[in-house]
Structure 1
């Protein structure tokens, strides 16, 4: 006679494990042994490096069999992370069981062009006051930015965290079953008390501007002047002499409408036209839109990561059980250097909290897609 697994005691840490074994079956066995089967979890989070993108569906199936956890949510990345560690490119697996009440979560069905698949959870969502979505998206889906905004809007007091798959191969995700080309994940009852925070990786330079003329993603006029003229003034004489040096260092920032915290979205500058004095950015533009320029700054990013973790720790009213972290693939070793410094700081500030996550091709926070940020969710 079998009995239905019960959720673990309310304040027990989430079981989590990681493996860097070169063979995925052994990695699954190592993680399953570490997690055990007595946790009563029906949900788990899984992240693998893209070296195992092709094997990811089989990995999820093996985890289901080895751990007894029926439902998994996760994706692959060029880098993954776990408590105090960053792991890039080479085979790696990070998993965490989430022993949450069965009525506290639902898998998010794959969203590709619209939210019609969400209808299956209408009754459950109708009983919630707040809802947090942990979501993963395929960057090849052109509808993704719109889907992110729409999903956050229709969930009760909706808020999203997550990231876009980063892979040199398949952009595979899992939300119950393996899938590609969509937005997927898990929806959590806000009553679970998950706390979230965002850390920026860039710092604004110069003043705030207004887009006065544009066409799709092409900046033609800023403050009534040629866009490239304003850009060159803001970045300074040294960088203006060699605009190619500015690539990957200077970005366009777009203040979030209605936000009074100074939050802004960072987008790459993808092209310059010195003859016609134009700038191209990785965002569709509108006349009248506010704009600022910002630069990647490791020291500022480090201080902001310290601020984020300290403020989040102060907001916790209980010892954390587990955490998810979604960082930009341009952060980590590329911003803070080798030695897992980014994840090391989070462990230093929050303690030995079970944590898993990945380095994303874009980070999701609230109702928007960000870049060069770190997004942390703590249970």
Structure 2
């Protein structure tokens, strides 16, 4: 494989971060002279050492540009690491003027630098790989703003997950907002989204609500409609529905039936109201969904089959951002979720992490997997 075509991968687990980093570099082998971008994902156990780890990889590899973040779990080709000190790094060889590291966004007033103007004018079909801090309440606005500033763009990524700090890598170590890397049309890619839930019944319309509290659906008490959809057994014991039944908010512009999954956070049996983890408005569509391993597995395979039809041969590299609520919980042990990717698309360098929310087409999802392939 020549340098210009190669992506190189290393991943390791060790309580000593320098030992893990050295193992990663050993797996990568000789650094291609064309390597100019690194992706770095750490389990949150290494969050406090993030700056030192970044500096180590930059000095040892000679690669100056980096993007990535931390997760309670991370993944690499055929391997998932949970609740253990681990890291995964992928070096990419892409055309020198094909990407820009995204400046750090943490306020609505932030904008892309003026120096990007010429590059944007000469670019099209942009892909932004972004990482966000779940503690920043402005993230939905920042994602929309970034999408507007990048012409003809598509955003993919995830929110950091951690028991402590949420560092991100954007040439430096940053925290508190949105960061990442933007590619232009000279880097061919394919992306896919898989849902972890499946609708139970048809769509309804919210007819009465206040912020995130829904009192009326289809001009009927919201809880009555909810109980009918989930069935008599669950309706008799609503506690059993927790963690299994969710609210789905269909996306108007989607031609593939995508919907945003939101948690049910409260039920008022007396007032026959339900509360969900998002703001809603009258006239908005809603459907109730269930989450289980079978439906997640089936939709994952659907996404992989679709991608397989769209690409020619094995990808050069890939990024996978999956929800913390997927992985072992829905697919079982032994890295089953990422092994599905390898079995369907081949053995290629892949890195990513298990997120506190996933980003696809500038929207925040939950219980999904977002796969990006470099072709």
User: When the two structures are superposed, what TM-score results if normalisation uses the length of structure 2?
Assistant: 0.96
| Cα displacement string for residues 150-202 of structure 1 (whole angstroms, at most 9, x for unaligned residues) | 21232121101110000001011111111111110000013311110001110
| Cα displacement string for residues 6-37 of structure 1 (whole angstroms, at most 9, x for unaligned residues) | x964433x111101012101111111222232
1:318: Cα distance to partner?
A: 4.7
1-structure distance, mates of 2:371, 2:292: 20
Structure 1 unaligned regions, length at least 5: 1-6
1:361-376 mapped onto 2 (5 Å cutoff): 361-376=356-371
Q: 2:117 aligns with which of 117, 122, 129?
A: 122
2-structure distance, mates of 1:158, 1:329: 26
2-structure distance, mates of 1:75, 1:8: 29
2:92 corresponds to 1:103 = no
2:192 corresponds to 1:197 = yes
Which residue of structure 2 lines up, in the alignment, with residue 247 of structure 1? 242
1:59-74 mapped onto 2 (5 Å cutoff): 59-74=53-68
2-structure distance, mates of 1:191, 1:254: 35
1-structure distance, mates of 2:53, 2:145: 31
Which residue of structure 2 lines up, in the alignment, with residue 17 of structure 1? 10
Matched residue of 1:167: which SS?
coil
| Cα displacement string for residues 92-148 of structure 1 (whole angstroms, at most 9, x for unaligned residues) | 000000111110000000111236331242221121121100000000000101111
2-structure distance, mates of 1:10, 1:52: 31
1:18-33 mapped onto 2 (5 Å cutoff): 18-33=11-26
1:305: Cα distance to partner?
A: 0.9
The root-mean-square deviation of aligned C-alpha atoms, in Å, is: 1.4
1:333: Cα distance to partner?
A: 0.2
2-structure distance, mates of 1:115, 1:367: 18
Which residue of structure 2 lines up, in the alignment, with residue 187 of structure 1? 182
Structure 2 unaligned regions, length at least 5: none
2:3 corresponds to 1:37 = no
1-structure distance, mates of 2:309, 2:191: 12
| Cα displacement string for residues 316-368 of structure 1 (whole angstroms, at most 9, x for unaligned residues) | 13531100000000000011111111011111011111000000000001121
Q: 1:94 aligns with which of 88, 92, 95?
A: 88
User: When the two structures are superposed, what TM-score results if normalisation uses the length of structure 1?
Assistant: 0.95
1:39: Cα distance to partner?
A: 4.0
Q: How many residues align?
A: 372
Contact 1:136 1:184 in 2 (8 A): yes
2-structure distance, mates of 1:116, 1:173: 17
Which residue of structure 2 lines up, in the alignment, with residue 131 of structure 1? 126
Which residue of structure 2 lines up, in the alignment, with residue 47 of structure 1? 41
2:173 corresponds to 1:178 = yes
| Cα displacement string for residues 236-274 of structure 1 (whole angstroms, at most 9, x for unaligned residues) | 111111111111100000111122221111111111111
After TM superposition, the runs of 4+ consecutive aligned structure 1 residues lying more than 6 A away are: none
Q: 2:347 aligns with which of 333, 346, 352?
A: 352
1-structure distance, mates of 2:132, 2:298: 29
Contact 1:202 1:295 in 2 (8 A): yes
1:69: Cα distance to partner?
A: 1.1
Matched residue of 2:10: which SS?
strand
Q: 1:212 aligns with which of 207, 211, 215?
A: 207
Contact 2:128 2:155 in 1 (8 A): yes
Contact 2:314 2:345 in 1 (8 A): no
Contact 1:84 1:340 in 2 (8 A): yes
1:327-338 mapped onto 2 (5 Å cutoff): 327-338=322-333
Matched residue of 2:326: which SS?
coil
